[in-house]
Amino acid sequence: MTTTIAGGRAARRQTMRRIRPRRSPAKPLLLVVSAGAAGVLWLWWSNTPAIADTAGRVLAAGRITGLLAGYLMALVVLQMARVPALERRVGSDRVARWHAMSGRYTLCLVVAHVVLTMYGYALQAGLGAGGIVRQTVDSVGQLPDMGKAAIGTAVLVFIGLVSIGPVRRRIPYDLWYHVHLLTYAATFLTFWHQLSAGNEFAVEPVARTVWYALYGSVTALVVWYRVITPVRLNLRHRLRVEAVVEEAPGIVSVLMGGRKLHRMGAEAGQFFRWRFLAPGMRFSSHPYSLSAAPRPSMLRITVKAIGDHSSALRDLEPGTRVWAEGPYGALTADRRSRGKVLLVAGGVGITPMRALFETLPGAAGDLTLLYRANSTRDLALWDELAAIADERGARLMYAVNSPDGERPDISPETLRRKIPDIEVHDVFLCGPPGFARQVYDALRGAGVPARRIHHESFEM
């Protein structure tokens, strides 16, 4: 059995926009971040006197690493706040990568700050390098707010260890996700000692005010977008499961009803974080893309069973309450800069591509969808895709393994042969990481500029 979602004309009207080249939003953001880092360096430099001894130089290094760590910590939390301006303009996957990179730098700076500062104090006390542990114990016990800072630092180190690739892949997603939320607690615990023990903030009231403003603004964004906004959304729209339908082996669609769902602000290509209030699933929140454009009374996701949470979706009962956070993601019609568009989907990556195939404005012949799957039995939503292609005069192709298991050839030569003018297309791409990399390389080889290959990973 398959679901059939029709009536894409209204959704297409909602996505009509003037096609225009897009400028990268990363550059102005990086300039702002760099300006903030330069301000931190200036604050340190202006409050650092001439240094004559080794202990003074070590302590100065400990101060600057601590200031930079405090600045980056605020940015790490900001990148967790789900601010729409970042999520939609930059893209959830890029923000997640920035967050991971910033977190690594922050942790390294925090460790350097602790080691250098305690070593400097040990040298001043005549304890030498071997007295770092003793000096650390004394500082934690005697200096204001250092006990909280020590706990916060330990939490940060724990989060960093859990986030290491081999460890991250071995633990359940839900456990990693909830451990990651301890970043908020670590930030709170380490914040206070920055003001009580930092020389720069003791002698510079303006700097102290700016630091309060930085952390206060980030806290307000987190509370608004991670707490208040989801509560308002769910109280207003009251989502419930309407039906669960098997689309292909191991792939199900979950249809959800609610009130005025088209006013949630979601677009084709975006995703929500879904929490189904059913036994065993209440504390699990996972990202799934919409597999059809939002309707006034219905949303739909289509999910492949690859873990405990996704496998449990097939057993959801109609009427189950749903808690959603979003919409997130920037893989939308906004990224389009050309009249012709190629959509490439691998496996369950068809879900955002199906929604875009339905809604992207275009004349007959402007849209092409290439769907990669292991076999024709795995082509989920194929009947809907065929109906959309017929209605819109679009081109629909699939690439599946041969009967002996040989993978189809997706190379620059094959793409140019199937789509002779591929270099003038925008390309939207979604699929497993290995598939996405292979297709990206083939597209570049076929002459498609990198700026017109739009890809977003939802593995967060």
Using 70 as the pLDDT threshold, list the residues of the chain that sit under it.
Answer: 1-26, 129, 457-460
Q: Quick one: 287 and 435 in the same domain?
A: no
Q: Quick one: 275 and 410 in the same domain?
A: no
Q: Quick one: 225 and 315 in the same domain?
A: no
Q: Quick one: 112 and 162 in the same domain?
A: yes
Tokens 């076999």 identify what position?
375
User: Are 296 and 262 spatial neighbours (Cβ–Cβ below 8 Å)?
Assistant: yes
Give residue-wise pLDDT tens across range 17-38: 433 444 556 678 888 999 999 9
SS3 state of residue 303:
strand
Residue 18 placed within a domain: no
Per the structure, the complete domain to which residue 129 belongs is given by 26-231
Q: List the Cα angle 377/172/429 in 5-degree steps.
A: 45
Q: Quick one: 217 and 259 in the same domain?
A: no
Domain end (from 183, 202, 231): 231
Q: Quick one: 132 and 272 in the same domain?
A: no
- Picking from 434, 371, 437, 442, the residue whose alpha carbon sits closest to that of residue 400 is 371
Q: How many domains does the chain have?
A: 3
SS3 state of residue 342:
strand
pTM: 0.82
Residue 441 identity: D
User: Are 428 and 356 spatial neighbours (Cβ–Cβ below 8 Å)?
Assistant: yes
Q: Quick one: 88 and 227 in the same domain?
A: yes
Residue 361 placed within a domain: yes
Q: Quick one: 85 and 175 in the same domain?
A: yes
Taking phi over 0 as left and psi of -120 to 50 as alpha, with beta for the rest, 393 belongs to left
Domain end (from 301, 328, 355): 328
CATH of the domain at 393: 3.40.50.80
Residue 362 placed within a domain: yes
Residue 356 placed within a domain: yes
Domain end (from 328, 359, 374): 328
Q: Quick one: 278 and 341 in the same domain?
A: no
User: Are 274 and 364 spatial neighbours (Cβ–Cβ below 8 Å)?
Assistant: no
What was the pLDDT predicted at 198?
Answer: 83
Question: In the chain, what is the straight-line distance between the N-terminal and C-terminal CA atoms, in Å?
Answer: 31
SS3 state of residue 127:
coil
Q: Quick one: 161 and 93 in the same domain?
A: yes
Residue 14 placed within a domain: no
Q: Quick one: 137 and 267 in the same domain?
A: no
What was the pLDDT predicted at 178?
Answer: 87
Q: Quick one: 258 and 352 in the same domain?
A: no
Give residue-wise pLDDT tens across range 82-100: 998 888 777 788 888 889 9
DSSP notation for 230-281:
HHHHHHHH--EEEEEEEEETTEEEEEEE-SSGGGG---TT-EEEEEE-STTT
What was the pLDDT predicted at 262?
Answer: 82
What was the pLDDT predicted at 334?
Answer: 85
SS3 state of residue 398:
strand
Query: What are the start-end ranges of the H helices in 47-91?
Result: 54-78, 84-89
